[in-house]
Chains A and B, each alone.
Chain A
Amino acid sequence: DAGVIQSPRHEVTEMGQEVTLRCKPISGHNSLFWYRQTMMRGLELLIYFNNNVPIDDSGMPEDRFSAKMPNASFSTLKIQPSEPRDSAVYFCASSFSGKEETQYFGPGTRLLVL
C-alpha cells in the first residue's frame, strides 16, 4: 500500500482565494483525521470521520473551513476564503478503526496564504 496520500504537497495562494486539500486514506481504513500544524499552536485535530461520517468537528476553527468525505477513499478540506493566518502544514491521517488504533499520517500539505 502506498500509505496515506495527500495533494498538493505545497500550495501558495492569495488571501481570499479558495483552497482545497485532498486526502486518500489507506485502503481498508475506516477512520480519517485532518490535523493542522503551526508553530504557535503545535498540532491540532481539526475533524475526524468514521465510516465517512464526521464524528467530531470541534477542532474546525471557523465557518471558513469545511471537510467532506464522499466515499471511503477520498476526503477534502476546504478553506474559503483563505486568510494569511491559515498558513500551516495540514496533515491527513487514517486508522483501521477509531482514534485508539494506530494512525498513519500522510506527508502533509504546506499551505502559504499571502
Chain B
Amino acid sequence: GNSVTQMEGPVTLSEEAFLTINCTYTATGYPSLFWYVQYPGEGLQLLLKATKADDKGSNKGFEATYRKETTSFHLEKGSVQVSDSAVYFCAIDNNDMRFGAGTRLTVKP
C-alpha cells in the first residue's frame, strides 16, 4: 500500500536560513503529492501540490518538485521567516490518501 516518510523533527532554524524538509513515498501508479501546513492553533491548510512527475508546486516562497525517479517531494524555502513556524505534513493520494507524521519547524529571530 501507499506510505509516506518525512524528515523527523523538530527542526529549528534562524530567520533567513534555507529550509529543506525531506519527503519520500511508496506507491503504485502515479499519486498526487501534497504539502500541508498547520500553524499554531489552526487547522491544516494546503500549502502546495503536484499531480505529475517533474511538476513543481509553489506557494508563499515554498517549493517542492515531484521526482518520480527518487520517489521524493522535498519541501524547500530559500529564506524562512518566524511566521513560517508550523508543522508541515507531506501527503500522497493514489485513491488511498496517506500522510507523513509531520515535521515541526521553529524559526527563531
- Which A residues are within 8 Å of any B CB, using their own CB? 4, 35, 37, 41-45, 58, 91, 93, 99-100, 102-108
Contacts and interface: CB of A to CB of B under 8 A. Distances in A.
Contacts of B99: 42-45
B101 A99 contact: no
Contact of B43 (A41, A102, A105): A105
User: For the side of the interface on B, what is the size category?
Assistant: 10 to 19
A43 B89 contact: yes
A101 B100 CA distance: 20
A80 B18 CA distance: 47
B45 interface: yes
B58 interface: no
B100 A107 contact: no
18 contacts: A41-B101, A42-B100, A43-B36, A43-B91, A44-B99, A58-B96, A91-B43, A91-B44, A93-B43, A93-B44, A99-B93, A100-B51, A103-B44, A103-B46, A105-B44, A106-B43, A107-B42, A107-B43
A77 B26 CA distance: 30
Contacts of B36: 43
A56 to B, nearest CB: 8
Contacts of A107: 41-43
B29 to A, nearest CB: 15
